[in-house]
Structure 1
Amino acid sequence: MAFSLRRSRLGDGYYKLLRDHLVDPVTRWGLTPNQLSGLSMAVALLVPIGFAVHPFLGTLLMVVSALADSLDGVMARHLGVSSLWGGFVDTVVDQVSDSCYLTGIWLLLWHQPHRLTAMAALVTALVLMLLIGFIRAKSEALRIAAISMPM
């Protein structure tokens, strides 16, 4: 059996918290899950600017973006409107957001004394992030079951 943080007690508690306390207020505001995905990406696009202004602002924007990204899927499942299109949009938003987060961290670390080491780590993270996205897309296209690490 493979380990999944999303299916752990911690993950269950996190998603229950979102479902129980945030889905209804966000639904009352009139936002759909796909609009929430768009909002998540819009905030993610501001993350590099936030880090350029101040590390706290960049971090705050990253947390807000990640929270909205977590909430869109929970909201779609809770409302019974999950779709293949929504899953596709979520995957695209994840890739764009992760790239924005790494760009923001790159801006933050640019003036640090060990920036070459930090840059190497960030480039490695970016390559791995893109590779994981490619592997997932290719495996889904070939209808291969998700690859996971056994525990």
Structure 2
Amino acid sequence: MLNRHARDAFGRVFTPLARLLLRLHVSPDAVTLAGTLGVTLGAVILFPLGQLFWGVVVITAFVFSDVIDGLMARLSQRAGTWGGFLDSTLDRVQDAAVFGGLACWFFGGGESFATGALAVACLALGNIVSYARAKAESLGYAANVGIAERAERLVSTLVVAGLTGLGLPVPFLTWTLALLAAASAVTVVQRVLAVHRQAARRG
């Protein structure tokens, strides 16, 4: 969920914890799974109940597993393709939980169809952004371009959702999701064009 610069900053903070978990024979995969479970439960239980602030608190508490598991893998020299695959796959689970939980609330008790629909749009477009990069890389192309990376999309959503839970008017969240959906659509186009240019150069 965190971008490279954030990972570097938090990595220095969480390195002692990563070392402690390794000494306790906890595996990086276990941390990845625990983090995903915490994020998912926080989103699919608390968001549909309208507890946006506490949902964000629970999700945030588990977000840092995304840093800790990577630290543990590197410290134990176990970093590899399996860990990357598992982390990337479970990132999609977390995305579905966060945006799906928001959609459930705003389609129901939140009484804002537009906000719910935009949450679904963000989820769908975010998955296309991720798929475009993964498919490009599987074909030997680079597609790590775009204005809306996953970290920025989720952090923006969680910050505004948490503030909405504290009383910020719902339209602020609606417009945030609208902007993120638009930025995600632009990112999809940017990645398609990037791959098209590379394919053209290959002839």
Where on the TM-score scale, by shorter chain, does this alignment land: which range?
Answer: 0.7 to 0.9
1:55 aligns with 2:52: yes
Q: Which deviates the most, 80-89 or 132-141?
A: 132-141
Q: TM-score, normalised by structure 2?
A: 0.62
1:36 aligns with 2:31: yes
Aligned position for 1:121: 118
Instruction: Choose 1 or 2 for highest CA Rg.
Output: 2
Aligned letter for 2:13? L
1:98 aligns with 2:120: no
Per the TM alignment, residue 5 of structure 1 is displaced from its structure 2 partner at its CA by 4.5
Superposition RMSD on alpha carbons, in Å? 2.3
Per the TM alignment, residue 12 of structure 1 is displaced from its structure 2 partner at its CA by 2.5
Matched residue SS, 1:22: helix
* Structure 2 segments unaligned to the other structure (5+ residues): 148-203
* Structure 1 segments unaligned to the other structure (5+ residues): none
Structure 1 residues 25 and 56, CA gap change in structure 2 (3 angstroms): farther
Say how many residue pairs are matched.
143
**More relative contact order in 1 or in 2 (CA 8 Å, sep 6+)?**
1
Q: TM-score, normalised by structure 1?
A: 0.80
Which of 4, 8, 12 is 1:12 aligned to? 8
Per the TM alignment, residue 16 of structure 1 is displaced from its structure 2 partner at its CA by 1.7
Q: Is the 8 A contact 1:52 1:58 kept in 2?
A: no
